[in-house]
Structure 1
Amino acid sequence: MAATPPPQPAAPAMNSPHFIGIGGAGMSGIAKILAQRGARVAGSDAKESATARALRALGATVHIGHDAGHLAAGTDCVVVSSAIREDNPELAAARSRGIPVLHRSDALAAVMAGRRAIAVAGTHGKTTTTSMLAVALRALGLEPGYAIGGDLDTPGSNAENGSGPWFVAEADESDRSFHRYTPEVAVVLNAELDHHANYASLEEVYQSFEVFTGRIRPGGTLVVNADQEGTRELTARLRRAPRADLAVVTYGADPSADVRVVSVVPKGLSSEVTVAMAGRELTFGVSVPGRHYAHNAVAALAAGAAAGVPAAELAPALAAYTGVARRLQPKGEAAGVRVVDSYAHHPTEMTADLEAIRECAGEGRVLVVFQPHLFSRTRELGAEMGRALALADASVVLDIYPAREDPLPGVTSALITDAARGAGADVRPEPDRDAVPELVAGMAKPGDLVLTMGAGDVTDLGPRILERLAGDPGPAVP
């Protein structure tokens, strides 16, 4: 196993922090917690949002647009994510003024300092599993702090300072930022090659997760998936060089798993899960469909038990979780057509969500509106994305959502649509995002289920599709 890295240097004070990109899922959560602790929080974002308004309601100053003038006198640190470029005027101003600049992960590590941390990592399922555990602990009155990469219900519900000893955090591997954390309990859900701008090979992914698990505190616990190929390889590596001060708990359907999934019974948009652990069986409900979400709940159960929460109490408390934004989130129904939103953007996630939705659709068709996320991911995984779309009855594919990346020569959504057609899928490209509501409304019939899918702004199309299905063309789009 990789040697434990040296401790990170102490973070500067965060009494008057400025967040560049404060509306982002990860950034806004840290900003909220600091505001709850009494810090004078300020920041900027590219556009107005419900998240920005929620932060203002907590007393934060949120500017729209980026300008060096937004950096107030007295700012004691500037927090950035990996998406912020060096030419950002606020970042440039901070560097010229000698203001300490913190990466988001260093700020989160500082927020967790002094708490008993549970960090949830993996290529897929981090947000859901972190949310499930945080909600269950809260339902039991344990008042955890938490930071999640998505809202539980209302804008700004992605984080809470909490008054209890535990802090549950989503640990992001995409840029290796999870190497900053020193959890007492760590969860690894899966390990696959993704984030191709930062990982050149699966071997690099394994090495990165080895560093993460190497940072678990002495006497801590690693909860790891027994079913997935990548986590089995990771577990084998750890066992070849075991740490005497680390407990390893496996979960999954594998007969050897310490927390074994006995059954997952679909029940519409929910499921019932039975697990065997510590010589007894427990059955509990999960409020979202799909085996993958059921297994996320089992990971949360195993992590909570590792933290000392009785499994018999935690299992029913998991039923308090009612979903998180964009993780198979129902958006509504109109004209007999249901619309659900999915954050899936990797072929494994797409396949899992489509299989789950297929079970929910019954006799109706599954229609997908898919927006690829990142040029680098599409270049490497576009063909697999296209094959995943063959699980739908028909798909509309938008142009690539660039996020933080610049275009790559020859990388377009055609990589996906060509592969989808080769797999026998009914797929059509639609470069005009604003034409999608009319297009989908013309395709859909009563009983169908429409799935908006992707990590970009495709999520905004769900309400517009519902408006069009209901006969309302919606507001004019400039």
Structure 2
Amino acid sequence: MRKHYHFVGIGGIGMSALARILLRKGEKVSGSDAKGSSALEQLKQEGAEVTVGHSPKNVRKPHAVIYSTDVPQDNLELVYAKKEKIPLLHRSELLAQMMTGYAPILVTGTHGKTTTAALLAHTLVEAGFDPSFAIGGYLNGTNTNGRYGKGLYFAIEADESDGSFLNYPSFSAIITNLEHDHMNYWKSEKALLDAFEQFASQVGSKKHLFWCYDDILLRSLNLDGYSYGFNEHADLVINNFQQIKWKMTFDLTFEGKHYLNLEIPLIGAHNVLNSAAVFGLGIKLDVPEASLRKGLITFKGVGRRVEKKGETGNIEIYDDYAHHPTEIFATLRAIRSATRGKRIVVAFQPHRYSRTQYCLDDYADAFEYADQVIVTDIYAARETPIPEITPERICQQVKADGFRDIQFVKRDNLTQYLSQFLKPGDVLITMGAGDITTVGPAVLNILMT
């Protein structure tokens, strides 16, 4: 019997992936979102019934109403579903159900899980394994974040931010790293470490668990499985890493065998680590080496991960999702290596007041590889503002640590300001998890007219 699922906030990156998979399985999907978007239009074209705006009228006797942690409990559709006793499923509960009968492969970690999960999914597809996957980003080339396959494996990005990564069964997993983030949820380092330790313990096959040895906190947990990293004491060791403009080459040594001259069209040491994890897991999944190499070299990346928006007048414009200082540092270091001699201009939108408060002392190091930094208004993401946490405060803190070329520009003025500030030879990178992603194309449009 065909089931009907109604998604509250269907346009979200995690929700749309599940909706897309259900549509391809032949289920009926409806949903609503607060505002229109290209994601909604794409889902409409794929068969979903989508409404802009939340109303009880949108909930038409589905088998279940799906919600995420981001949906407030006083949402009109949730309230109506409770009143009418329509079953409610958190996104993680639905995903756990959807993975029944598969061998789930989970990718988690503070940073890099979207790219790693996307690379894993792409590699399995290229190798003919016909996997299902749900990713927190759109794969460049296919422009999808969810896939229904008939193969054994179901690859997902497992979100640690709300603890939901502990809700999933897992056959295999990759843990990219572990850092203090989302501490408004975790409250303490002990709670965070305990959760990652529990996650690792729940992996069904420890010979299909890979974790980053270079990460001090992960190493402290003494996890089972295979470690990977640049450190010579890892089980899978990376050697001879080189970044050549916008691609990387490296060697791997794993279980006594050498894998030479691997290549991937991504930049940064962090993406070598991500690639090594996927390659190592692929070996243990019996993916042929030739298929693994092909998966790496044909990977086109993920939207909003150093995504080139365009170029005009010898000005290049990129967009990136980085919003945590560690991510910003790694991304800018890689861009510096790829664009030597050019002025790097960063337009940064801080994400959430709680994160900005927690990371305030770390921004100076984050921008080490930038020439000019422009900070705009904090993207609240439904958080209540913290009065003393402001973008001006970030600028003051960074200047106090010795970085002078930083300034605040209001979000409403940012596009026009950048269009006048940029000059030939510049590389602009917009950074943040909020609506700053729209700035690059808008600046490009002004520069081209």
Q: TM-score range by the shorter chain?
A: over 0.9
1:140 paired to 2:122: no
Contact 1:387/1:419, CA 8 A, preserved across alignment: no
Secondary structure of the corresponding residue to residue 197 of structure 1: helix
Contact 1:34/1:41, CA 8 A, preserved across alignment: yes
What is the TM-score normalised by the length of structure 2?
0.96
What residue number does 1:116 align with? 103
One-letter identity of the residue aligned with 2:300: T
Secondary structure of the corresponding residue to residue 243 of structure 2: strand
What residue number does 1:94 align with? 81
Q: CA deviation at 1:153?
A: 2.5
1:69–1:155 distance in 2 versus 1, CA, 3 Å: farther
Q: 1:446 aligns with which of 416, 424, 432?
A: 424
What residue number does 2:146 align with? 159
One-letter identity of the residue aligned with 1:213: A
Q: 1:463 aligns with which of 435, 438, 441?
A: 441
- Paired with 1:69 and 1:356, the residues of 2 have a C-alpha distance of 49
Q: 1:330 aligns with which of 308, 328, 334?
A: 308
Between the two proteins, what is the percent identity of the paired residues?
Answer: 37
Q: 2:245 aligns with which of 246, 249, 268?
A: 268
Aligned residues: 447
Q: 1:252 aligns with which of 226, 229, 238?
A: 229
What residue number does 1:181 align with? 168
1:429 paired to 2:425: no
- Paired with 1:176 and 1:293, the residues of 2 have a C-alpha distance of 25
Q: CA deviation at 1:434?
A: 3.5
Pairwise CA RMSD: 1.6
Dislocated runs of 4+, deviation >6 Å: none
Q: Superposition pairs for residues 1-16 of structure 1, below 5 Å?
A: 15-16=3-4
1:45 paired to 2:23: no
- Paired with 1:225 and 1:179, the residues of 2 have a C-alpha distance of 19
- Paired with 2:120 and 2:262, the residues of 1 have a C-alpha distance of 14
What residue number does 1:5 align with? none
422-431 or 303-312, larger mean C-alpha shift: 303-312
289-298 or 441-450, larger mean C-alpha shift: 441-450
Secondary structure of the corresponding residue to residue 184 of structure 2: coil
One-letter identity of the residue aligned with 1:17: Y
What is the TM-score normalised by the length of structure 1?
0.90
Q: 1:25 aligns with which of 13, 18, 38?
A: 13
1:137–1:108 distance in 2 versus 1, CA, 3 Å: same
Secondary structure of the corresponding residue to residue 149 of structure 1: coil
1:419 paired to 2:397: yes
Deviation string, structure 1 residues 29-77 (Cα, Å, up to 9, x no partner): 000001111111001111111111111111111110111111112x111
1:346 paired to 2:346: no
Secondary structure of the corresponding residue to residue 185 of structure 2: coil
- Paired with 1:233 and 1:316, the residues of 2 have a C-alpha distance of 34
- Paired with 2:263 and 2:24, the residues of 1 have a C-alpha distance of 33
1:202 paired to 2:202: no
What residue number does 2:117 align with? 130
- Paired with 2:323 and 2:246, the residues of 1 have a C-alpha distance of 21
Q: Structure 1 stretches of 5 or more lacking a match?
A: 1-12, 239-246, 473-478
- Paired with 1:220 and 1:180, the residues of 2 have a C-alpha distance of 21
1:83 paired to 2:70: yes
Q: 1:298 aligns with which of 276, 299, 302?
A: 276
What residue number does 2:51 align with? 63
185-194 or 207-216, larger mean C-alpha shift: 207-216
Deviation string, structure 1 residues 172-218 (Cα, Å, up to 9, x no partner): 00000000111111111101110122011222111111121121125
1:397–1:14 distance in 2 versus 1, CA, 3 Å: farther
Q: CA deviation at 1:219?
A: 5.8
1:277 paired to 2:264: no
396-405 or 149-158, larger mean C-alpha shift: 149-158
